[in-house]
Amino acid sequence: MRHLLSLIIVLLCLCSCKDKANIFVLEGHIGSLAHDTIYIYGADALYEDVDTVVTRDGAFRYTTPLDTVVPMWVLFPNMHRELVFADKGLTATMQGDTAAAGHIHILGGEQNALLQKFYHRTDSLDDMREVIAVADSFIRANPFSEVSIYLLREYFVNRPSPDNTKIKTLIGSMSGNLQDNHYIKQLQRMLNTYKPLAKNNTVNNYAVLDRDGRNVSTSEYKETYLLMHFWASWDKESRQRQRELVAIKEKYKKHNFDILGISLDTDRQAWLQAITEDSVTWRQACDFDGWETGIVKRMHITHLPTNVLITPSRRIHAIDIYGEELDRKIEELTVEKTAEKEKKKTPTTIRKIKGNN
């Protein structure tokens, strides 16, 4: 009996050690942060949960079970966010002040050390071209690091007019393990089927969630000329263009024309507030994935604002037209074409009346 009890104790200890080996721990103390809540969520599709962590006098502790390296965002109440690489059995610490300039310092784990090294080399650089050059060199020098995937996405993919040749070259410099990463595989498929946004291209039936959480797709706008307006609450120019569209929408509300707003926001409250402030009356949609939003990636939207005017047959008729040019184009497509159709019908109607007499 004594031997059986000893065996049970040993097994329990082994199970406890095994559980601890799969746990990631993030501890931190953040200046200017008292009793508040921070949010931790995955930076890619491997970890899709959003966890809330309460801070006490700026201190917090977060734990989660993991099987592999996962990049995670830590979002603070002032919307500042920091990337941390989580891994099973790893304890990382976060120190700094969200009210101060620069990145919060993260200790623990090889990937976090490499990311901090990159930040150290680029924090003093004011020219984005220099930062991109450092990111390029880093990726080539660290073909086995998960940080290289993050830098590829941040500085080469999620940019206006990305250089696809450069992206392919950098992917080619990565190890086989990194190239097997689900994001890199998805990116390669997209590059192989890349079709730049252009007039006469067909817009597929893409779906995105509206403010009520319901799917809205381009197929719903049959017999309608649809202006797809890509914007974000944090982009001043796209906000200005959105406000200009209010008058356009009102002018042609009785014609076969409509607008669909697609936001690249990641903060629901900021998105809804911007819609109210801009007096928007048309349907708005947002998946809160930023540049990773499915419709944004599939249509190869690379800058904000972007306007895409599509015909009832879902072909792109015009791209990035605003103001008077947009007004004239909508009038030409809706009001004038409707008048022409009515004019063509008139002689036929008269002949029928004469024949009856």
**What digits encode the pLDDT tens for the residues 297-353?**
888 888 899 999 999 988 999 999 999 999 999 999 987 666 666 666 555 554 454
36-40, 46-50, 94-98, 313-317: range with lowest mean pLDDT: 46-50
Q: Percent of the chain having pLDDT more than 70?
A: 86
**Greatest distance between any 2 Cα atoms in the chain:** 115
Q: Assign 10 a pLDDT band (cuts: 50, 70, 90).
A: very low
Q: Assign 186 a pLDDT band (cuts: 50, 70, 90).
A: confident
Q: For 213-262, write each residue's pLDDT tens digit.
A: 888 888 888 889 999 999 999 899 999 999 999 999 999 989 999 999 99
Q: Cis link prior to 143 (omega < 30° from 0)? A: no
100-104, 120-124, 231-235, 318-322: range with lowest mean pLDDT: 100-104
Identify which has the larger pLDDT, 33 or 281.
281
pLDDT of residue 83: 93
CB 267 within 8 A of CB 79: yes
Decide if pLDDT at 24 tops 60: yes
- Structural domain boundaries of the chain? 20-97+105-192, 207-340
- The topology (CATH level 3) of 207-340 is Glutaredoxin (3.40.30)
Task: Indicate the residue type of 26.
Answer: L
pLDDT of residue 16: 47
- Determine the Cα–Cα distance for residues 187 and 167; give it in Å rounded to an integer: 9
pLDDT of residue 356: 54
Q: State whether the Cα torsion 66-80-166-185 is positive or negative.
A: positive
14-23, 141-150, 151-160, 321-330: range with lowest mean pLDDT: 14-23
Span 78-102, mean pLDDT?
A: 87
Q: Assign 94 a pLDDT band (cuts: 50, 70, 90).
A: very high
User: Taking the CB of residue 299, how many other CB atoms lie within 10 A of it?
Assistant: 22
Q: Assign 114 a pLDDT band (cuts: 50, 70, 90).
A: very high
